[in-house]
C-alpha cells in the first residue's frame, strides 16, 4: 500500500504540474467575470522585490487546471461541513446565496450619499434616489439563524436623512418583503425583472406616473442557464442555474436603444446576442455602457435621466413605457458635465438607481462633482 501511495502521489504532483504547463493559459474567466492572472514578466528586479513571486502565486492559483470545478468542490465541502457561509455569502434557504452586507463600510456609503445630495442640490429638476436592496434584505427569512447582517431598512432610513430635502428617496424594501418569491436571482446579485416590477411601482409613485398593472405584461423565459456572480464566488456543485425572464408588454410598444459609446442602435430593449455570451444578464439593455439613449413610442414628451449601475437594467425597460426619451448614464464610465448635459437635452427628471451592495464602494458618483455646480 505504501508503494501504491508513492506512485499515486507522484502521479498527482506530475499530473497537476504537467496539466498546468501543457494546457494553454486562460485569459478571461466567464465564471468569475474577470481576467485571470497571466504569467508575470521575469526580471531580477521583480524577483528581488518579491513582486515576481507574489504574482506567480496568483498566476498558479488562477490558471490551475479545473479551477472552476475545484471552486465548486470547495463550496460543496463547506456546505457539507454545515458552514453557513462561503467567501462572504450566506448559504440561504431554497438554494439562495445571500449577501448580508455584514462588512458594509459606513464611511464610503456616507461619502456616496453626500454626492447624491450634492447632485440633488445642483440639478435643476426633480431628483429621485432609488436604492436597490440585496436579496438578503428582501428575504431575511432565508438567512441562516443569527447571521450577522447590516439592516438594510436602517440604511435606507439613513439615506432619506442624508440625501437632503432636494432628493426624494424611494424605499422599495417593504414592498419587496411582501412581494413573494422570484424577485431575485438565487445565484446572482441582481433582481429579476419580476423584482424590478416592484421598483417600477415605487418609481411611479415618486416620479408621478401611473404604472401599468402586472397583467399588462407576460413573462418570457430567455435563458435557463444563468450562473451569476454569487455562484462565481461561492457556488456549489449542486447549484442549478437560474432562468432569466423578461416581461413583455401585451400591447404593441416600440422602443430602441442607442449605445452612445459605439453609436450602434439596437431595436427593442433587449440584446439577444448577449444571451450567448458569458453574462446573459446583459440581455437587459445590452449590459454596461457609459451612455445609452432610449427612444420610445410613449408619445408624451417626457424625458428622464437615469444615473445608475447595473441594478437598473431590469427596471429601465419598464420605465420606458412612460418616457419618450431616457438617457441612461453609468457614472463609472461617463466623465462629462451632467448638469450641462441635462439642460442641453431639456431633461428635468432624474432617477438614481444603485444597489446598496455597491454603495459602500467606488460607484463613480464622485465624478458628478465634475459638473458645473451652481
Cell of 310: 447595473
- With respect to another protein, which residue has the nearer C-beta, 10 or 240? 10
> Considering the complex, what minimum distance in angstroms separates the CB of residue 174 from another protein?
23
- With respect to another protein, which residue has the nearer C-beta, 21 or 178? 21
> Considering the complex, what minimum distance in angstroms separates the CB of residue 21 from another protein?
9
Binding site for another protein (CB under 8 A): 1-9, 12-14, 16-17, 20, 47-48, 50, 53, 56-57, 60-61, 64, 67, 70-71, 73-75, 77, 81-85, 87, 144-148
- Quote the distance between the C-alpha of residue 156 and its chain's center: 18
- Quote the distance between the C-alpha of residue 100 and its chain's center: 15
> Considering the complex, what minimum distance in angstroms separates the CB of residue 152 from another protein?
17
Contact indicator for 32, 87 with CB cutoff of 8 Å: no
Instruction: State the sign of the Cα–Cα–Cα–Cα dihedral 153, 156, 161, 165.
Output: negative
> Considering the complex, what minimum distance in angstroms separates the CB of residue 87 from another protein?
7
Question: What are the Cα distances from residue 275, in Å, to 35, 139, 187, 247, 281?
Answer: 20, 28, 17, 16, 8
- With respect to another protein, which residue has the nearer C-beta, 236 or 308? 236
Contact indicator for 37, 59 with CB cutoff of 8 Å: yes
> Considering the complex, what minimum distance in angstroms separates the CB of residue 70 from another protein?
4
- With respect to another protein, which residue has the nearer C-beta, 9 or 369? 9
Q: Which helix (H) or strand (E) holds 247?
A: strand 242-249
Q: How many CA atoms lie within 13 A of 148 on its CB side?
A: 4
> Considering the complex, what minimum distance in angstroms separates the CB of residue 30 from another protein?
17
> Considering the complex, what minimum distance in angstroms separates the CB of residue 292 from another protein?
35
- With respect to another protein, which residue has the nearer C-beta, 9 or 333? 9
Contact indicator for 160, 173 with CB cutoff of 8 Å: no
Question: What are the Cα distances from residue 186, in Å, to 32, 95, 157?
Answer: 16, 6, 26
- With respect to another protein, which residue has the nearer C-beta, 51 or 324? 51
* Cα–Cα distance for residue pair 100/332, rounded to 1 Å: 24
- With respect to another protein, which residue has the nearer C-beta, 89 or 315? 89
* Cα–Cα distance for residue pair 275/158, rounded to 1 Å: 38
- With respect to another protein, which residue has the nearer C-beta, 83 or 273? 83
- With respect to another protein, which residue has the nearer C-beta, 79 or 160? 79
> Considering the complex, what minimum distance in angstroms separates the CB of residue 80 from another protein?
9
> Considering the complex, what minimum distance in angstroms separates the CB of residue 17 from another protein?
4
Question: What are the Cα distances from residue 320, in Å, to 105, 169, 250, 328?
Answer: 34, 21, 15, 11
Partnered with residue 129 across adjacent β-strands are 169, 352
> Considering the complex, what minimum distance in angstroms separates the CB of residue 5 from another protein?
4
Contact indicator for 206, 223 with CB cutoff of 8 Å: no
* 241-277 CB burial, b ≥16 within 10 A, e <16: bbbbbbbbeeeebebebbbbeeeeebeebbbeebbee
Cell of 196: 424590478
- With respect to another protein, which residue has the nearer C-beta, 148 or 277? 148
Amino acid at each position: 500500500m505504501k508503494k501504491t501511495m508513492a506512485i499515486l502521489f507522484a502521479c498527482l504532483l506530475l499530473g497537476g504540474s504537467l496539466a498546468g504547463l501543457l494546457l494553454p493559459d486562460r485569459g478571461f474567466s466567464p465564471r468569475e467575470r474577470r481576467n485571470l492572472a497571466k504569467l508575470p514578466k521575469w526580471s531580477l528586479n521583480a524577483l528581488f522585490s518579491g513582486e515576481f513571486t507574489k504574482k506567480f502565486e496568483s498566476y498558479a492559483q488562477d490558471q490551475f487546471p479545473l479551477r472552476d470545478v475545484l471552486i465548486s468542490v470547495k463550496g460543496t465541502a463547506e456546505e457539507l461541513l454545515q458552514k453557513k457561509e462561503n467567501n462572504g455569502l450566506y448559504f440561504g434557504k431554497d438554494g439562495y446565496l445571500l449577501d448580508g452586507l455584514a462588512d458594509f463600510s459606513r464611511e464610503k456609503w456616507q461619502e456616496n450619499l453626500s454626492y447624491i445630495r450634492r447632485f440633488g442640490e445642483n440639478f435643476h429638476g426633480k431628483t429621485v434616489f432609488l436604492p436597490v436592496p440585496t436579496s438578503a434584505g428582501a428575504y431575511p427569512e432565508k438567512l441562516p439563524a443569527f447571521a450577522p447582517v447590516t439592516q438594510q431598512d436602517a440604511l435606507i432610513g439613513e439615506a432619506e436623512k442624508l440625501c437632503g430635502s432636494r432628493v426624494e428617496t424611494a424605499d422599495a424594501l417593504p414592498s419587496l418583503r411582501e412581494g413573494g418569491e422570484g424577485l431575485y436571482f438565487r445565484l446572482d446579485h441582481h433582481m429579476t425583472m419580476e423584482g424590478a416590477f416592484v421598483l417600477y411601482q415605487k418609481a411611479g409613485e415618486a416620479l408621478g406616473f401611473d404604472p401599468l398593472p402586472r397583467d399588462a405584461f407576460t413573462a418570457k423565459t430567455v435563458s435557463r442557464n444563468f450562473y451569476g456572480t454569487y455562484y462565481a464566488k461561492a457556488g456549489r456543485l449542486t447549484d442549478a442555474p437560474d432562468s432569466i425572464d423578461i416581461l413583455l408588454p401585451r400591447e404593441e410598444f416600440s422602443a430602441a436603444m442607442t449605445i452612445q459609446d459605439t453609436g450602434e442602435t439596437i431595436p427593442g430593449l433587449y440584446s439577444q446576442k448577449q444571451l450567448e455570451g458569458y453574462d446573459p444578464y446583459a440581455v437587459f439593455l445590452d449590459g454596461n455602457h457609459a451612455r445609452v439613449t432610449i427612444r420610445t413610442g410613449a408619445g408624451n414628451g417626457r424625458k428622464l435621466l437615469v444615473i445608475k449601475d447595473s441594478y437598473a437594467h431590469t427596471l429601465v425597460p419598464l420605465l420606458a413605457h412612460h418616457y419618450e426619451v431616457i438617457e441612461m448614464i453609468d457614472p463609472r464610465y461617463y466623465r462629462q458635465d451632467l448638469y450641462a448635459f441635462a439642460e442641453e437635452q431639456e431633461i428635468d427628471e432624474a432617477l438614481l438607481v444603485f444597489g446598496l451592495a455597491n454603495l459602500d464602494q467606488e460607484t463613480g458618483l464622485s465624478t458628478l462633482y465634475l459638473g458645473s455646480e451652481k
